[in-house]
Structure 1
């Protein structure tokens, strides 16, 4: 019966171990990187959707104020045709925000319109939105509807009352949804080659804004993301959209209207880049694999030479020592199989421990932020990319009193609370660190002192408005320094610390920027 000799077994073992180790590392790295990219994309889309929702909220708030002002001015001059026309013209021309402005009397008749149109003035309206505004007699942002002239639009309305309280009608500013309107300017439409885009849905799940104008008006309420955002939720989720495309979607509600904004990117755009990276990695690994094979072959010959010599001597049965020498070889293959199993298990366990150790060495266990080692790693990345950054140092005010009055458990909860507020008030690219005790650090890449001050003020405002684990809000003092103004990271941090101490001495709960 043929048996493999030691040289072939050693070479086979080395090749198998190398292949499994490389395969495990390759696929583990691939899927880990894919999951990280997915999470980063979801968070970026969520933050983008939240930003646009806030911008849209502010637009409608300002629109309501404009209409309220016009309604107030019309309350005593409603019968003055020139004054009515002046108000609709002012609304239409002010920043060119609206597609059309009209005034409708209490009996539902259009008495003024801008742009001026003889075909509109005198018409009695009977559309859904107009009927709702006449019935409700209160400020209103309608869902999209088809107007009397067949235009698909949404309207912002405000009632007009006479000084004696009698209802005169209402003033309305409309957006034509199937034409370019102010939403395109607010939401900043960009066409990405990778298929990323955003859209807006009304309270019924109908599209009121989409990069493909032909889709405006379609109902997409079957989309799981649309269902969640219309319930008032905000977040990110992987979803198959109504066209069957796998998307990474971030979503946020528009509070003033109940609508939802969804920003999404095709999953395939990310996996395609990863696949290209995987192919490149494999091609780069081929020369090393061939070199490794040559080394393994040489090592296997070196290892097998003494054992082969022992096997050769076993052919000489007449020698007194032949039996004992051959008997020592009989258990070799079992030992080799044990070594193979142990080696593979050991490599797998070692990889797991190294990954866990590296993550633990760079993370603060209490807050989940980076520790000093993690900060040092980020600084190396900034140096490699030649990035400037702003260093923002934070220190919780009167933290010793928190520990003394509430105990160290509450003190730890306050530290975790601050870490969470820092995450919510920062960008995905910002580096958040806990330096020890109640001292924290934020590194803001490509940010000057003005931008860092805005970010810091946003953080302080959030702290003042949020109840901490102590039962009341806590405050913090902040110092800011920019790397471009100092010769080294150490000098930058020292300047930020000095600015922090000045903030403490100036009364706490404030921001001080280091002098250049």
Structure 2
């Protein structure tokens, strides 16, 4: 009777457990594909942003050379050859949009031709770095234009330098995105702000309008996320999407729902094959249940104890919990989240969302101990007390958040933006020389000076720069000398950048 009871219980448990495992696996696989595609879309969005930033910087650099140098056609050919991995063609036009030089020669255009496209008109009108939406050129190519204005030494606009990407041919964008094409039917595609496909593994779909797709409508509106949906051809996909703010493009990564069939079928066969011998060992397994439950609990207890004893908010050696017990998994999840939250609150400035002074000091000390050269930019909002007195402290806080946001937009990924205290901020420029730091500081100062702050009026900042190890060998000395340079900027009229010099 006991044997029959155990056998019946095991069979019922196996049936219920098998169905539960099947359902759980199906949902888990679906969620895994959704999250993976979302993470891929975000990753590619970031890579696309870096690619466009790098291409814009290349065009900006060429434009800065044009300002002081009259190029020959041979030099333009050399520039295009040196940047062929990024641009299909490079050209210079004057303020009347007449081509001065263009390379290569087989673009369908030549020197002396006046550009008439809306994109070229917009580039001349804007007189600033510009990334266009895709457009059909006179050569019948679908083109993306990246341009940068050229001014002479007196500040007179002379025209612009342009680099083009042929979207229907092999280009730097397709080279990067093709790395994310998989044999299970997963693929990535990109749409512009109007819902036209910029990149697709099937080149025939490039420039196709897919704005009626609900996913496309969400991503071009600036949203990001994941969901199961149908594409424009009526096929069901696990879809992740992310918005690339610099260009206004939408990145979509998707996997067909049909990929679940094979692993689920294998799961059913595997459960049947493994279930039969499992019944013979049901009693033996019971003895192991206590160990399965207690081991992850012991790991979590040890993890918590060590973290507090070592005064760490987020230990690096987080235990890997593979328990099938729901409560243990939840406990592990919440303990980790708790330490992550404590760590974030300890390192991030609560108002602006950038690093706080403690984090800044830790990072700088770590760089010094590693003998890593860096530049320290300290900046202070000019007449900030007047802002608080005139508009109130709530508006003053908005000005602080506004300043921090611009700092993050202008700094590099490897740099560290932080709030030093009050209205004083700073940027640690990693492995950057004084030219890099000075250029960053001046661009930041100029942007804030010309942008409308939350008060409705422009504000200004004063900046000071010190370099490690040239100016100082200790962290306190670096801060003191950057602070000294900052107050030199204030002493000589504010809204200035001063580089510390003995």
**Short-chain TM bin:** 0.5 to 0.7
Query: Among 95, 106, 112, which residue is 1:106 paired with?
Result: 95
Quick check: 2:76–2:102 contact (8 Å CA) kept in 1?
Answer: no
Q: Residues of 2 paired with 1:86 and 1:75: CA distance?
A: 15
Aligned positions of 1:181-192 closer than 5 A: 181-192=171-182
Superimposed CA distance per residue, residues 162-194 of structure 1 (whole angstroms, 9 cap, x where no aligned partner): 223332211111110011110133234354221
Asked if 1:93 is matched to 2:22, the reply is no
Q: Which structure 1 residue ranges, 5 or more long, are not aligned?
A: 1-6, 293-353, 365-369, 376-392, 400-414, 442-458, 479-506, 508-516
Q: What is the Cα deviation at residue 221 of structure 1?
A: 2.2
Q: Residues of 1 paired with 2:10 and 2:234: CA distance?
A: 41
Q: What is the Cα deviation at residue 265 of structure 1?
A: 1.3
Q: What is the Cα deviation at residue 19 of structure 1?
A: 6.6
Aligned positions of 1:191-270 closer than 5 A: 191-270=181-260
TM-score, structure 2 as length reference: 0.56
Asked if 1:371 is matched to 2:300, the reply is yes
SS of match in other structure, 1:233: coil
TM-score, structure 1 as length reference: 0.55
Asked if 1:45 is matched to 2:45, the reply is no
Q: Which structure 2 residue ranges, 5 or more long, are not aligned?
A: 282-288, 323-328, 364-474, 476-502
Query: Among 52, 60, 74, which residue is 1:68 paired with?
Result: 60
Q: Residues of 1 paired with 2:232 and 2:115: CA distance?
A: 35
SS of match in other structure, 1:371: helix
Q: Residues of 2 paired with 1:256 and 1:428: CA distance?
A: 39
Size of the alignment, in residue pairs? Answer: 345
Asked if 1:163 is matched to 2:153, the reply is yes
Q: What is the Cα deviation at residue 214 of structure 1?
A: 1.0
Q: What is the Cα deviation at residue 101 of structure 1?
A: 0.9
SS of match in other structure, 2:233: coil
| Correspondence for 2:140 | 150
Deviates most, 111-120 or 264-273:
111-120
Aligned positions of 1:133-148 closer than 5 A: 133-148=123-138
Quick check: 2:76–2:103 contact (8 Å CA) kept in 1?
Answer: no
Superimposed CA distance per residue, residues 194-244 of structure 1 (whole angstroms, 9 cap, x where no aligned partner): 101111111112111111111111122233332222232332222211122
Aligned positions of 1:68-467 closer than 5 A: 68-77=60-69, 80=70, 82-83=71-72, 86-87=75-76, 89-94=78-83, 96-117=85-106, 119-121=108-110, 122-282=112-272, 285=275, 371-372=300-301, 464-465=347-348, 467=350
SS of match in other structure, 2:179: coil
Q: What is the Cα deviation at residue 467 of structure 1?
A: 3.2
Q: What is the Cα deviation at residue 117 of structure 1?
A: 4.0
Quick check: 2:108–2:139 contact (8 Å CA) kept in 1?
Answer: no
Q: Residues of 1 paired with 2:345 and 2:181: CA distance?
A: 34
Q: Residues of 1 paired with 2:353 and 2:126: CA distance?
A: 45
How much is the aligned-residue C-alpha RMSD, in angstroms?
4.9
Q: What is the Cα deviation at residue 286 of structure 1?
A: 6.5
Q: Residues of 2 paired with 1:203 and 1:436: CA distance?
A: 41
Q: Residues of 2 paired with 1:15 and 1:466: CA distance?
A: 61
Quick check: 2:93–2:159 contact (8 Å CA) kept in 1?
Answer: yes
| Correspondence for 1:345 | none
| Correspondence for 2:431 | none
- The change in CA–CA distance for 1:46 and 1:428 in structure 2 (over 3 A counts) is farther
Deviates most, 272-281 or 176-185:
272-281
SS of match in other structure, 2:207: coil
Quick check: 2:147–2:163 contact (8 Å CA) kept in 1?
Answer: yes
SS of match in other structure, 1:194: coil
